[in-house]
Structure 1
Amino acid sequence: MSMTVAHLLMQSLEAHGIDRVFCVPGESYIGLTSVLIQKQTIQLVVCRHEGGAGFMAVADGRLRNRAGVAMVSRGPGVANAMVALHSAFHDATPMVLLIGHVERRDVGRQALQEQNYARLLSDITKQVIEVVDPAQASEAIARAFFTAESATPGPVAVVLPEDIFDEVTDVLVDQPRQRTTAAPAPGDLDRLATLLTAAERPLVLVGGALLTEAVEDPSVLDDLRRLAEDWVLPISPTHIRPQLFDSSHPNYGGYMGIRVAANQLDAMKRADLLVALGERLGDTISQSYTFPTAPQPQLPFVHIWPDPSEV
C-alpha cells in the first residue's frame, strides 16, 4: 500500500518499538512531526533546547537498553545536540538522531543552515546515513537501529531532506534486524579460569557495558557478586558506575576513576592479573593509559568487551 515517506518513517519507528521521541520542533522536519501528532502512537516530547532533547534520548537509551530517539532541525539544531551525541559515543549508549535537512535540490548550494553532516558528525557517531530517495527511508531507519545497538553501542544520525516527507512510496516497512551478540571463543573461558586460578592478586574492573546488561536483567549484578565470592575476587566499579558493586561488600576493591587515592592505586598496581569486564579503559579509568599501560599491558590482562575492534 502506498504511503507518504512521513508515514513510512513513523511505521518504521513503531516497528522498532519506539514509543517516544524527543525534539525541538523545526520546519525542516515538520512533515514528520505532523504525522506523529496526528497518529499519537508515538509520544512526542517537546523540549526547550536540542541539547536537552539529545540527553533525554541518551537517558532513554541507557535506561531501557535500546536506542533512544531525538529529532532536531538543521544547522543550530544539530549543533546544540552534538554534546549529547558526544556523550552517547563515549559512553557506548545507543541513540538515533533524526536530522531535518535542506531540500535535495539545494544541497551543495550553501542553503540556509546547510551543513555536511557526514563530515561534521564523523567523530561522534558510529554512522551518518543520508536519505536521498523515498525508497531508502525505512531501510535507513532499520540500519540506524541495527548499527546503534550492535557491537559497541553508540549514536547514529539519519539525515532527512525536508522535501522528502510528503513524497509517496510503495516500499514496505523494513523490519528490525537481529542484533549481533558477542560471545567468548571456544576455550577462552577455560583460559580465563586458568589465569584466575594461578593469580595471587587478581583485580576485576567492571564498567558500563555490564551496567547496560543489568538494566535489562538485574540478575547480572547477582551473577557478579557470586563471581566475586566464588573466586574470591576484588571487584572495582569504574568511573560513574559505583552502583555495579556494593561498597560494603567484603570483596569491594575500591573505586577506579578520577582522583583515586594514591595508596589505593598503589595497591591496585600490585595486581598480578587485571580483568576489565564491560569497560573500554579510556584515559580516566587507566590513569592516563598507565594501568594497564598501552599498547602493551605491564601485567597479564583480560579485556571483555562486545566489540573486538576495541579490545
Structure 2
Amino acid sequence: MSEQITAGQYLVKWMEQMEIDKFFFVPGESFLHVLDALHDSPKIQAITTRHESGASFAADAYGKLTGKPAVCMATRGPGASNLSIGVQTAYYDQTPMIALIGQVPTSIMQSGAFQDVDFKSFFGSISKEVFSITSVEQLPGVLRQAYWLACNGRQGPVVITLPTDILGSTLYGALLPKAPGLAFSDQENDIACSILEKIRQAEYPLFLSALPAVRGEESQLLAELASLTGVPVCGAWRRFSSFPNDHPHFIGSVGLGSPKVTSDAMKQADCIIGFGQSMEDIAVSGGSLISDNTQIIQVAKHIDSGSIRRSGNSILHGFIASEKGVLSALVEICKEDETLVKNLREKNRPRTASLREQFENRFNNDENRTERANLNLVFNEINKVMEKNAIVTSDAGNFAHWLLRYISFGGERVYLGPVNGAMGYGIPSALGAKVSLHNRPVWGVAGDGGSMMTVGELETIARHGLDVTIVVINNGIFGTIQAHQEKQFPNRHFGTDIGNVDFGKVAEGMGWKTWRINSNDQITSVLNEVVSEKGPRLIEVLPDVYPLALS
C-alpha cells in the first residue's frame, strides 16, 4: 500500500490487514475520520453500542473467545471514562484488546481544553501500555507495537489516544504492519521432568486449570495428562469452561460459591500444578485455600508477582513458558514411561474417583422451596435445556453461586465471566459473544443490579437481530453487598435496595420476547418454550428468598 491516505483510513486498513473484524464503539466527534473510513469497509462489522462500557465489555468477550483483540473506541473525556471499566476488566482478566480514544487536537492537549484528559495517567494502571500519538508518522509503528503487547506475554488491553487532527492527517507511502511473532522457553522437557517429580513425591497432587475459556489443544493435553497420572483437576475462578466438566477427573471450579468438595481438595493438596493464571486472588481465596508448605507450580506465559504473596508459606515454582509446550512434553514423557504412569495411576486414581463421586452428588441435600422460584431448580433446569455448544456469559453477583454449582461445561460449552468482578458485564458480553461466534447459541445471565447498569445493550442486540437468551435474576437488591452487610452489620441493610423493576416490560419496549418465572411450576414449561423460539429472548426470574452466600 503506497497511496496517500488519512490516518483514519490507515487505521481501518490496518484492522482489515490484521483480520480484526469487529469494532465496538459509541460515536464521537473526535474520530469522525475513522467512522468515515469504516463506512467503506466491507470486512469490519462496526457495532454501535448504547454505552461505552458496553463497547469495552463486548470487546473483552470477543478477545476471550477468539484469543485475538477486537477494537473498541470512545471519544475523549467522559466517553473514555465510561470505556475504562471494560479496559480494567480486560487488564485483570488478561484479555487482548485494543482501546482507541479520540483525543483533542494536538495544539490544545494538556491545556485544560474541553474534555482534555491526561490519558497516560488515567489508563496507566489498568492497561499494559498507553500510547499518545502526537504525529501521524508514529501511527504504523505504534499499531504494530500495540498489537504485539496486547497478544503476547501477559495478554491485556493497550490504549492508543488519537488526536482528531492526526486522524485527518495524510500518511504517505506507509506499509501496513504485520504481527510479529514471539518464541517462548525451549526448556519444556526440563520443566516437565521437574513437574512429574513433584507429582511423584506428592500425596495429594492437584491440577488447577486457568487455560482459555474456549477449550483447545492445551485443555485436551491437560485432560490426557490427568488420565495418565490419575490426578484430579479443578477449574480456576471464572475459568469454568477451561477444562471439560464431564471429564472423570474434574472435581469442580474454585472461587465464590464453589462446592465444598472442591474447596476441601484445594486445602488438602500438598502439590498444586497450575496452568495459566491459576494463582488469581479469588481462585485461591487470597491464599487461604493453600496449606502451609504446599508445593505450588505455575506454568504461564506471564507470572504475576502477586502469586508469590498469595502463596503464603508455601513454595512457589514459577515457570514462564508456553502452557501448550509444557503440557505436550508432560504427556510425551508419560507415554514413554509405562512404569511411571502405572505407579502414578495406582496412587492417585482411588482418591480422584472418590472426589469425583462427591462432586457428582453435591446436590443431594438441596432444599426445594415452594415460594417463588427456587434457584437450585431454575439453574438445574437451565443446564438440562441449554444447548451443548452454548456460550454462557454472566455478570458479577450473588446469583452466580448457582450458575457455578449447576451449569456444567462439558461438550463444547464455553463460559465467559469477569474475573475482576465487574458488574454490567452479562448483557454486553452476550452481544460480543454472539457477533464473535454467530453460529453458536448464547445465554447471558445477570442479576438485576448488573442488568440495570448496561440494560441499554438490549437495544443493540435487538437492532442486530441476534439470537440471544438473557436470564435476569430479579430479587430487588444488590445481593452480594447485602450479604456483606448482613455479615458485618446484621439487620442493618442500607443502600442495597434496587426497587421494583419489570425487566420484561423494559425488554419488550426494545423488541424482545419475554417470559417471567415466579414459581417452581413455571420453570420447565417456560424454559422449554424459550428454547423453541428464536431471536432476542429474555427470562425474568423472581427468586425465592435465600440465605445470602459469601463462601
Tell which deviates more after alignment, 272-281 or 121-130. 272-281
Paired residues of 2:270 and 2:294 also in contact (CA < 8 A) = yes
Q: Is 2:302 the counterpart of 1:307?
A: yes
Counterpart position of 2:35: 33
Q: Kindly indicate whether the alpha-carbon contact (under 8 Å) linking 1:269 and 1:291 is maintained by their aligned counterparts in 2.
A: yes
Task: Give 3-state SS (helix, strand or coil) of 1:51's partner.
Answer: helix
Write out the 4+ residue segments of structure 1 that deviate beyond 6 Å after TM superposition: none
Find 1:43's aligned residue among 42, 45, 51. Answer: 45
Cα deviation for residue 36 of structure 1 reads 1.1
Alignment of 1:44-193 (within 5 A): 44-183=46-185, 185=187, 187-193=190-196
Q: Deviations over 1:243-283 (max 9, x none)?
A: 23344433123321114455643342222211111124122
Q: Secondary structure at the match of 2:130?
A: strand
Query: 1:88 and 1:63 mapped to 2: Cα distance?
Result: 13
Please report the TM-score for the alignment, with normalisation by the length of structure 2. Answer: 0.52
Larger deviation, residues 169-178 vs 72-81: 169-178
Distance 2:228 2:52 in 1: 47
8 Å contact 1:13–1:141 — kept in the other structure?
no
Alignment of 1:201 with 2:214, yes or no, is no
Matches within 5 A, 1:158-307: 158-183=160-185, 185=187, 187-207=190-210, 210-211=211-212, 214=214, 218-261=216-259, 264-292=262-290, 298-307=293-302
**Per the alignment, in what secondary structure is the counterpart of residue 184 of structure 2?**
coil
Q: CA RMSD in A?
A: 2.0
Deviation at 1:33, TM superposition (A): 0.8
Q: What's the CA shift for 1:184?
A: 5.8
> How much has 1:44 moved relative to structure 2?
1.4
* Structure 1: gaps spanning 5 or more residues: none
Instruction: Give the direction of change, closer, same or farther, for the CA distance of 1:135–1:107 in structure 2 (3 Å limit).
Output: same
C-alpha distance 250-41 of structure 1, shift in aligned 2 (>3 A): closer
How far, CA to CA, are the matches of 1:151 and 1:160 in structure 2?
25
Question: Aligned-pair distance for 1:72?
Answer: 0.6
The structure-2 alpha-carbon separation of the partners of 1:88 and 1:181, relative to structure 1 and needing over 3 Å to count, comes to farther
Quote how far apart the aligned CAs of 1:182 are: 3.1
**More deviation, 46-55/35-44:** 35-44
Stretches of structure 2 that go unaligned for 5 or more consecutive residues are 306-317, 319-551
Q: Hey, what's the Cα distance between the residues in 1 that align with 2:279 and 2:186?
A: 19
Count the aligned residue pairs.
Answer: 303
Where relative contact order (Cα < 8 A, 6+ residues apart) is larger, the structure is 1
| Matches of 2:224 and 2:261, distance apart in 1 | 27
Question: Is the 2:266–2:290 Cα contact (8 Å) retained in structure 1?
Answer: no
In 2: Cα distance, 1:105 partner to 1:143 partner: 25
SS in 2 for 1:242: coil
Return the offset for 1:121: 0.5
Provide, for residues 102-157 of structure 1, a one-character-per-residue CA deviation record: whole Å limited to 9, x for no partner.
Answer: 00000111111110000001111000011111111121111111100010110000
- Answer yes or no: is the 8 Å Cα contact 1:239–1:256 preserved in 2: yes
Q: Contact 1:94–1:154 (CA<8 Å) still a contact in 2? A: yes
> How far apart, in 1, do the equivalents of 2:138 and 2:238 lie?
39
Whether the 8 Å CA contact 1:22–1:56 is kept in 2: the answer is yes
Q: What is the distance in 1 between the residues matched to 2:167 and 2:265?
A: 60
Shift of 1:180: 2.0
Contact 1:282/1:289 (8 A) holds in 2: no
Between 111-120 and 265-274, report the one with greater CA deviation.
265-274
Q: 1:248 to 1:35 in 2, by over 3 A?
A: closer
Check conservation: 1:67, 1:94, Cα contact below 8 A. yes
Q: Alpha carbons of 1:57 and 1:264: their partners in 2 closer, same or farther (altered >3 Å)?
A: closer
Q: TM-score, normalised by structure 1?
A: 0.91
Q: 1:43 deviation in Å?
A: 1.9
Q: For the Cα contact (< 8 Å) 2:236–2:278, is it kept in 1? A: no
Shift of 1:172: 1.5
Is the 8 Å Cα contact of residues 25 and 74 (structure 2) preserved in structure 1? yes
How far off is 1:174 after superposition?
4.1
Cα deviation for residue 181 of structure 1 reads 4.2
Counterparts of 2:295 and 2:186 in 1: how far apart (Å)?
Answer: 18
> How many angstroms apart in 1 are the aligned matches of 2:117 and 2:153?
29
CA distance in 2, matches of 1:227, 1:184: 20
Aligned positions of 1:9-24 closer than 5 A: 9-24=11-26
SS in 1 for 2:268: coil
* Helix, strand or coil at the partner of 2:99: strand
Q: What SS does the aligned partner of 1:108 have?
A: coil
CA contact (8 A) 1:135 1:171 kept: no
Q: CA deviation at 1:189?
A: 1.3
Shift of 1:183: 3.7
